[in-house]
Structure 1
Amino acid sequence: MKIGIYGSSFDPVTNVHLWTASTVAHRCKLDKVIFLPCSSKRKDKQLHTTDEHRWNMVNMAIQNNALYEANDYEMKQEAWDVYTEKTLAHFSELYPDDEIYFIMGADLLEDIGAGKWHNSEELVRDNRFIVMARNDIDMLKVISHSPLLRNHDDGHTFHLIDKGLAMEISSSYIRDEFAMEGEPRYLLPESCYQYIKEHEIYK
Structure 2
Amino acid sequence: MAKKIGILGGTFDPVHIGHLRSAIEVLEDCELDEVRLIPGAVPPHRATPMVGAQQRLDMVRLAVEGVAGLSVDDRELRREGPSWSIDTLVSLREELPSQAQLYFILGQDAFAGLPGWHRWQEVLLHCHLLVLQRPDMPAALPDALQQLLQQRQVAHHSGLQGPGGQIALLEQPPLPVSATAIRGALAEQRNIRFLVPDAVRDYIQQHGLYGAIHSI
Asked if Structure 1 and Structure 2 have the same fold, meaning a TM-score greater than 0.5 normalized by the shorter chain, the answer is yes
Partner residue of 2:170 out of 140, 158, 161:
161
Tell me how far apart the structure 1 counterparts of residues 204 and 21 of structure 2 sit (CA, whole Å).
20
Tell me how far apart the structure 2 counterparts of residues 188 and 67 of structure 1 sit (CA, whole Å).
19
State the identity %: 27
- List runs of 5+ in structure 2 lacking aligned partners: 155-159, 161-165, 212-216
Task: Judging by fraction of residues, say which structure has more helix.
Answer: 1
Query: 2:14·2:56 contact (CA, 8 Å) conserved in 1?
Result: yes
Q: CA deviation at 1:39?
A: 0.3
For residues 28-43 of structure 1, the aligned pairs below 5 Å read: 28-40=30-42, 42=44
For residues 12-161 of structure 1, the aligned pairs below 5 Å read: 12-40=14-42, 42=44, 44-80=46-82, 82-96=83-97, 97-112=99-114, 115-134=115-134, 135-138=136-139, 142=141, 146=145, 149-150=148-149, 152-153=151-152, 155=154, 156=160, 157-161=166-170
Residue by residue over 1:104-158, the C-alpha shift from the partner in whole angstroms, topping out at 9 and shown as x without a partner, is 001111111xx211112112344211110132333xx638763651364153311
- Partner residue of 2:179? 171
Query: 1:41·1:78 contact (CA, 8 Å) conserved in 2?
Result: no
Q: CA deviation at 1:71?
A: 0.8
Residue by residue over 1:151-191, the C-alpha shift from the partner in whole angstroms, topping out at 9 and shown as x without a partner, is 6415331121111x331300111111111101111100001
TM-score where L is the length of structure 2 = 0.84
Change (3 A) 1:14 1:183: same
Query: 2:93·2:126 contact (CA, 8 Å) conserved in 1?
Result: no
Letter in 2 for 1:171: A
Change (3 A) 1:55 1:172: same
Change (3 A) 1:160 1:12: same
Change (3 A) 1:201 1:32: same
Tell me how far apart the structure 2 counterparts of residues 154 and 166 of structure 1 sit (CA, whole Å).
22
Tell me how far apart the structure 2 counterparts of residues 99 and 77 of structure 1 sit (CA, whole Å).
24
Tell me how far apart the structure 2 counterparts of residues 154 and 200 of structure 1 sit (CA, whole Å).
45
Q: CA deviation at 1:83?
A: 1.5
- Partner residue of 2:203? 195
Tell me how far apart the structure 2 counterparts of residues 120 and 41 of structure 1 sit (CA, whole Å).
15
Tell me how far apart the structure 1 counterparts of residues 147 and 126 of structure 2 sit (CA, whole Å).
13
Residue by residue over 1:87-106, the C-alpha shift from the partner in whole angstroms, topping out at 9 and shown as x without a partner, is 11111221124100100001
Tell me how far apart the structure 2 counterparts of residues 201 and 63 of structure 1 sit (CA, whole Å).
21
Letter in 2 for 1:89: V
Letter in 2 for 1:142: L
Query: 2:102·2:126 contact (CA, 8 Å) conserved in 1?
Result: no
Aligned residues: 197
- List runs of 5+ in structure 1 lacking aligned partners: none
